[in-house]
A and B are shown apart, each in its own frame.
Chain A
Amino acid sequence: MAIFLTKDSKVLIQGMTGAEGTRHTARMLAAGTDIVAGVTPGKGGQAVDFAERRVPVFGSVAEAMAETGADVSVVFVPPRFARGAVEEAVDAEIPLCVVITEGVPVHDTLRFWARAQATGRTRIIGPNCPGLISPGQASAGIIPADITSAGRIGLVSKSGTLTYQLMYELRDIGFSTAVGIGGDPVIGTTHIDALQAFQDDPGTDAIVMIGEIGGDAEERAAAYIEQHVTKPVVAYVAGFTAPEGKTMGHAGAIVSGSAGTAQAKKEALEKVGVRVGKTPSETARLMRDTVQTR
């Protein structure tokens, strides 16, 4: 089992004919993903040949969904076109839209988020995220498939490479789904959404949650865990040494005054019984202990 993405997911790629889109479509296909369509305005009727199959290109998301039954979109378009692409997917009422694009203006994200809320049909993951993978089933995004295996740990993270690090360290135990929710100030799917889905997923036994400085998503997640999550959660928070007022790589990773510090997040999580690793490796050890003592 898995959350948000399974072997039955039919995936379309917005921006498949671009360099990044083509490269990652090939990787997703190699990971076993059922990629059924590409969407590039003006290129409808074309097709792109990959090792596994020939993927048809449609001019619009609605058309691609009607023709192929696609229920997941992965967005690889450049930042200036991201809002239009996501709004098109939202208007077509696709159930899941994964926005990989980095550098989307926050006002654009707010607009497509508001639109998705208004229709109530589309879950958005990202933007500025590595996507998600249910190992052995499907991958929607850029998470490398060959660093881990299928298993029963769920992972939700703001950071791509820290996700990969944990997936790699725990590759012998394996993952149900790993979700990279992205490092922007405003994102679609949150830690809480993923925690809820993992709690409800019979294929997930324990959850790794990776956070970082900025905002109060981790504090909110802690409050949620206390109320609603009975499965064991192990967490890691990055950015203890980050100075106030400096953006650390991710647009959302910034300590403002006394708000958004790693220390506050760690304390909030520990207060509700979540074990927080001091380093990624210690976090992996904590999860290993948790799974093996069950």
Chain B
Amino acid sequence: MDLYEYQAKELFARHGISVPPGQVAATPQEARTIATELKAPVVIKAQVKTGGRGKAGGVRLAPGPSAAEDEARRILGMDIKGHTAHTVLVEKATGGFEEYYAAYLVDRAERTLLAMVSSEGGMDIEEVAATKPEALVRIPIDAASGVDLETARLLASRAGLPEDVQDAVAATLVRLWEVLVEEDALMVEVNPLACTSDRRVLALDGKITLDDNAAFRHDLAAFADGSDDGGLEARARAKHLNYVKLEGQVGVIGNGAGLVMSTLDVVAYAGERFDGVRPANFLDIGGGASAQVMADGLEIILSDPDVRAVLVNVFGGITACDAVANGIVTALEVLGEQGARCPIVVRLDGNNAELGREILSDAGHPMVRVVTTMDGAAELVAELAAV
């Protein structure tokens, strides 16, 4: 789960990393009130989970409360790369500073953690890595030993930071490591990490990606965000379904993440011959594929007004196909009229596949079509959705 900047800064502050004073606002009036309380020039920053805010006009300086209100009015509702700014962060403007870069992230390939520190902050770090690689130090960090003050000092000096700020930056790097480990983050990034003329170090921007798998030992509800996924994903989450909304017309249900990803691809290929229809969603109902889960899944998919046909693609392994077929029949009974809204192509393969297909044929649901191969099923569902 990616956090908004203001949420990242809350976590930074909780771990003793300095951030500029400020608060999040959802209306221009709130922005004005916050600016009034801060009694200083403020920066108004669009809260969106994407980069390039500055270039898009989503970060503006406001000398006082009324300018803060005006700028907030302009930014709120702004679309930045497909992300709508529902809130702005209003924070005290920081003057005259040098910009550094600090991040920790999971290095998947090396199966370790990686520290990245640079004296060239404020810009896209991939650009720094490409144009000025010597300005970016990358050091693997052993998960067991972590970053202590000594390691942090080494990072700061290798990155070529001015000597008189190395201690202050090192202290921040140790706290940032605490954020990474104690909050179960997959990535923490501070860009820019600012050093003011009086040699104070503070995080002017922040990105954090938390590990959803660690939700059992954290309170992630505070970071929940239903504002940016149009409702269907939130509804699916409430039913513990693994669902991702896409922009297409063919609803897809399958068991196993890999098989469902593969099904989306095969539907898209078939769609190239039928009006360019595309998969409408990713939905993995897991190995069990019980009647209830099948009904919940179909219910979500058929609630998507873009869906014109559905493909159910199940491989019967531990749960054999006859059980899956019975689940589909029961699910369609539960759904009633909704289940008859559009054609449903079913492809069953694996254990007891023939028995499963027989069960579906015998049930005789008017909208269900049974196809034996994945490629054939994709072809048929694309054709049905193209009409």
Contacts and interface: CB of A to CB of B under 8 A. Distances in A.
Genuine A/B complex: yes
Interface of A: 27, 79-80, 103-107, 110-111, 113-115, 118, 142-144, 146-147, 157-165, 168, 183, 185-187, 210, 212-217, 220, 236, 238-243, 246-253, 262, 278-282
Contact of B257 (A147, A186, A253): A253
B374 A280 contact: yes
Chain B: interface residue count, which band? 35 or more
Contact of A168 (B212, B217, B349): B349
Contacts of A217: 108-109
Contact of B261 (A144, A185, A249): A249
Contact of A161 (B111, B216, B315): B315
Binding site secondary structure of chain B: mixed
B318 A110 contact: no
Contacts of A161: 254-256, 258-259, 287, 315, 317
Contacts of B255: 161
23 contacts: A80-B217, A105-B213, A105-B217, A107-B214, A110-B112, A113-B111, A144-B318, A160-B287, A161-B259, A162-B258, A164-B256, A165-B315, A165-B350, A165-B374, A185-B186, A212-B261, A239-B261, A239-B262, A241-B279, A242-B261, A242-B264, A249-B282, A279-B269
B211 A106 contact: yes
A114 B257 contact: no
A158 B257 CA distance: 10
B181 interface: yes
A190 to B, nearest CB: 9
B244 interface: yes
Contacts of B186: 106, 185
Contacts, number: 169
Nearest to A210: B258
B32 to A, nearest CB: 33
B184 A212 contact: no
Contact of A241 (B144, B242, B265, B374): B265
Nearest to A214: B108
Given A79-B216, A106-B211, A249 B111 contact: no
A215 B108 contact: yes
A159 B259 contact: yes
A213 B261 contact: yes
B107 to A, nearest CB: 9
Contact of B315 (A164, A241, A247, A249): A164
B349 A106 contact: no
A249 B266 contact: no
Contacts of B284: 249
Nearest to B245: A246
Contact of B258 (A143, A183, A220): A183
A147 B350 contact: yes
B373 interface: yes
Contact of B142 (A114, A142, A238): A114
B268 to A, nearest CB: 5
Contacts of A249: 242, 256-258, 260-261, 282, 284
B95 to A, nearest CB: 33
B268 A215 contact: no
Of listed A183, A215, A220, A249, residue having the most chain B CB within 10 A: A249
B153 interface: no
Given A168-B315, A239-B265, 19 more contacts: A80-B216, A80-B217, A115-B144, A118-B144, A160-B287, A161-B254, A161-B255, A161-B315, A165-B315, A165-B349, A165-B374, A215-B108, A217-B108, A238-B259, A238-B261, A239-B264, A248-B260, A248-B261, A251-B213
B150 to A, nearest CB: 19
Contacts of A238: 258-259, 261-262, 265
Interface string B191-233: 0000000000000000000011110110000000000000000
Q: Which of A146, A160, A252: most chain B CB closer than 10 A?
A: A160
A144 B282 contact: no
B351 interface: yes
A255 B132 CA distance: 26
Interface string B342-356: 000000011100000
B374 A279 contact: yes
A106 B349 CA distance: 33
B66 to A, nearest CB: 37
B213 A79 contact: yes
